[in-house]
Amino acid sequence: MNKEKNMYIRHVMVQKMRSLRESADNTIAKLKNAEGKFADPIDQAAAETSKAVEINCRDKEWHLLLDIKETILRIDRELYGICDHCGQPISPKRLMAEPMSKLCVICQEEIEARHNKFKHKRRYAGGISYNHA
């Protein structure tokens, strides 16, 4: 990818990072305000569940924020668009579709296939054997 496109992606990443941080600040404020105890145990349980869901969402956004920061760092260090696994350039088409990609399509598919094979093995490793003959 050329420098202009990389700078555009960097700009998009910085905007996304700001938006995530604002959202996180709002959640923290919301959670602090909602810390009151409820007299009704059902209301208390509902509030706790809602809080847990909110924290789970924040956790996912935290990971997204880390990926965004890493993408910005890769652009700044001129490593953006280079596959972490094989060192070959990642296709611009892939980067436009998945700007935070760290792997080329071939390596990504290879790793996913290996992962699926491992999952398949784990699923059947402890299973019941019907081979009694």
Give the Cα separation of 30 and 24 in Å (integer): 10
Q: How far is the CB of 84 from Zn ion (least distance, A)?
A: 8
Among the listed ranges 20-28, 48-56, 105-113, 125-133, the one in contact with Zn ion (CB under 5 A) is 105-113
9 vs 90, beta carbon nearer Zn ion: 90
Among 21, 69, 85, 122, binds Zn ion (CB under 5 A): 85
Beta-strand runs (E) in the chain:
none
Q: How far is the CB of 11 from Zn ion (least distance, A)?
A: 26
At 98, is the secondary structure helix, strand, or coil? Answer: coil
75 vs 107, beta carbon nearer Zn ion: 107
At 82, is the secondary structure helix, strand, or coil? Answer: strand
Among the listed ranges 38-46, 65-73, 94-102, 106-114, the one in contact with Zn ion (CB under 5 A) is 106-114
Give the Cα separation of 100 and 61 in Å (integer): 14
Give the Cα separation of 92 and 98 in Å (integer): 10
7 binds Zn ion (CB under 5 A): no
104 binds Zn ion (CB under 5 A): yes
Q: 75 with 6: CB under 8 angstroms?
A: yes
Give the Cα separation of 103 and 111 in Å (integer): 10
Q: How far is the CB of 23 from Zn ion (least distance, A)?
A: 33
95 binds Zn ion (CB under 5 A): no
Enumerate binding residues for Zn ion (CB under 5 A): 83, 85-86, 104, 107
